[in-house]
Amino acid sequence: MDPVIALVGRPNVGKSTLFNQLTRSRDALVADHPGLTRDRQYGVGKVGERPYIVVDTGGLGDDPEGVEAGMRAQALAAIEEADAILFMVDGRTGATAADEELAAHLRRQGKPVWLVVNKTDGVDHRLATADFHALGLGEPLPIAAAHGRGVAGLMDRVLDELPEDFTSAHDELQVEEAEGATRIAIVGRPNVGKSTLVNRLLGEERVLVYDMPGTTRDSVFIPFERDDRPYTLIDTAGMRRRARVRETVEKFSVIQTLKAIEAAHVVILVIDAREGITDQDTHLIGHVLKSGRALVLAVNKWDGLNADKRQAVKTGLDRKLAFLNFARRHFISALHGSGVGLLFGAVDKALEAARRDLPTPILNEILSDAVAAHAPPLAQGRRIKLRYVHQGGKNPPVIVIHGNQVQKLPGAYKRYLENAFRDELDLYGTPVRLEFRSGE
C-alpha cells in the first residue's frame, strides 16, 4: 500500500502550495476535463516509480478553542492516519509559539517527521533554517514550494527513508491470491449501497468464495472465483461492517478509498440513483480518473423508480458526467440483485481494453481519418500538424501523437481525438491518455 504523507503546519506557511507541487503531474491529466471537481485536500503523487498519498491538513492555528476547532480535529485525525509527516514552517517569520506547540505534539506521535522550512527563496538558507533546530525534529530542510525548489530532493529523501514496498505495520496484508487475479475495488460515498453490493456479488450463484479474506487497516480483501477466473474484491465498507459500527454520522475515509483505488485493477464506483451526483462523488471520480484505473459505474437503487424518474437520472448523469463517457454505466439494484451479475462482464471488458495492444498502422489510420474529417485549428496563422502516432503504454492506454505546434492544440480538439480513438478501437471502460510530442 502507498505511504500516506500529511502536510502539517500553521496557516499560510505554504502547505497548499506544496500540495499542488506534489500532486501536479496527476492533476495535469485531468485539466482537460471540465466538470471535474478537484479535491484540494487529498491527492496522489509519484516520485520515480513510487506513488504516495498526500493529505493537506489545512491550518493548525494558534487558537484551538475558536472557529478553528473543527479544522483542528480534522487535522489531528489526518495525522493519526498518516505514515509520515511533513511539518512545514515559514523561513521568513522564524519559529512561533504555535510552531513549538505543534512540534511538541508531533514528537509525542512517534511517527517519522521531516521539518520543512518553506519560503527560502531569496534568503540565506542557513539563516532561514537556524531558528528551527530548537524544535527538536531533526535537521530543518529548506525548500521554496512556490518555485518547486528543493521539493524533488525532499521527496527523494522522505521516500528513501520509508521502507521500500511500503506497508505500514497495520497494513500487513495476508491473503492468498490466485496468480493473475483481477482486483476489483468497490468504492463510493457512505450509504450508496457498497456493503449490500459486496454481499450480493459474493452471493451470486456462480461465485466460489474462499474463506480466507485478508484485512488491512482500511479494507477487506476477498479472493474468489467465477467461471474459473480468479478475482479479489477490495471491500472498503468491510471494516465498518466487521466492527459493527452504528454511528449516525458515518466516518468516511478518503485515504482508505484512495488506497483501495491504487491497489485495484478495476474500480466499481457505486452511485445512488436517488441522490444523483454529489460533490463527494465527483471528488471520488476525479481520484479514479487520475489513478488511470479501469472504471465501471454502478448506478444503484434502480429498483422502485418510475420511468420518468429513471429518465431524469440518466439525463443528470449525461450532464454531470460528460467527461466520464468512457465508463460503462450499469443500472442495478444491489438489494434485489438485478443487473449485478453483469458487472463481472463489464469488469473483464474494461480490463481487457486497458491492457490491449494497439497496432501502430491502425492508430495512424484513425489519426489521418480524424484529421481529414476535422483539421486541427490554426495557431499563429499556421496550421497545427499531427504527423504520426504510436502506443506509449498500457493500463491505461497511452497514445502518443507527434506533430508540430501540438502544445497549442485546444482541449476540445484533444477530446475529439480521444473520442475518435476510443470509438474506433472500442476502448471503453478505461481512461485513455493522449500525449503530444512536438517535432519542432
Q: Which residue ranges are tagged as binding site for GTP?
A: 9-16, 56-60, 118-121, 188-195, 235-239, 300-303
Applying CB under 6 A, which of residues 45, 59, 292, 403 lies at the interface with ligand GDP? 59
| Pairing mode, strands 214-215 and 220-226 | antiparallel
**Residue 27 in contact with ligand GDP, rule: CB under 6 A:** no
When the beta carbons of 151 and 327 are compared against ligand GDP, the nearer one is 151
**Residue 61 in contact with ligand GDP, rule: CB under 6 A:** no
Residues 6+ apart with CB under 8 A from 194: 186, 187, 188, 235, 236, 237, 270
CB 241, min distance to ligand GDP, A = 8
Which residue(s) pair with 295 in the sheet? 267
Residue 83: count other Cβ atoms within 10 Å of its Cβ. 22
**Residue 94 in contact with ligand GDP, rule: CB under 6 A:** no
Select the span of 13-21, 156-164, 208-216, 374-382 touching ligand GDP (CB under 6 A): 13-21
Applying CB under 6 A, which of residues 23, 57, 182, 196 lies at the interface with ligand GDP? 196
Select the span of 101-109, 300-308, 363-371, 402-410 touching ligand GDP (CB under 6 A): 300-308
CB 34, min distance to ligand GDP, A = 24
C-alpha cell read off for 307: 420511468
Residue 74's φ and ψ, nearest 5 degrees, are -65, -45
**Residue 93 in contact with ligand GDP, rule: CB under 6 A:** no
CB 334, min distance to ligand GDP, A = 4
Name which of residues 222 to 261 contact ligand GDP (CB under 6 A).
237
**Residue 342 in contact with ligand GDP, rule: CB under 6 A:** no
Select the span of 189-197, 217-225, 387-395, 423-431 touching ligand GDP (CB under 6 A): 189-197
**Residue 305 in contact with ligand GDP, rule: CB under 6 A:** no
Residue 252: count other Cβ atoms within 10 Å of its Cβ. 14
**Residue 62 in contact with ligand GDP, rule: CB under 6 A:** no
- Rounded Cα gap, residues 401 and 385, in angstroms: 10
CB 60, min distance to ligand GDP, A = 10
Cis amide prior to 140 (ω within 30 degrees): no
| Pairing mode, strands 141-142 and 113-118 | parallel
**Residue 330 in contact with ligand GDP, rule: CB under 6 A:** no
- Rounded Cα gap, residues 383 and 376, in angstroms: 7
Summarize the annotated binding site as residue ranges.
9-16, 56-60, 118-121, 188-195, 235-239, 300-303
Applying CB under 6 A, which of residues 45, 98, 115, 119 lies at the interface with ligand GDP? 119
**Residue 194 in contact with ligand GDP, rule: CB under 6 A:** yes
C-alpha cell read off for 361: 498502422
When the beta carbons of 253 and 405 are compared against ligand GDP, the nearer one is 253
Instruction: Mark 385-400 as b/e (b = at least 16 C-beta within 10 Å).
Output: ebeebeeeeeebbbbb
Residues 6+ apart with CB under 8 A from 97: 62
C-alpha cell read off for 312: 431524469
- Rounded Cα gap, residues 67 and 153, in angstroms: 36
Q: What is the DSSP track for 331-360?
A: E--TTT-TTTTHHHHHHHHHHHHHH----H
Q: Which helix (H) or strand (E) holds 231?
A: strand 229-235
| Pairing mode, strands 433-438 and 398-404 | parallel
**Residue 41 in contact with ligand GDP, rule: CB under 6 A:** no
**Residue 186 in contact with ligand GDP, rule: CB under 6 A:** no
**Residue 144 in contact with ligand GDP, rule: CB under 6 A:** yes
Q: Which spans of this chain sit near ligand GDP (rule: CB under 6 A)?
A: 9, 11-17, 59, 118-119, 121, 144-147, 188, 190-196, 237, 300-301, 303-304, 333-335
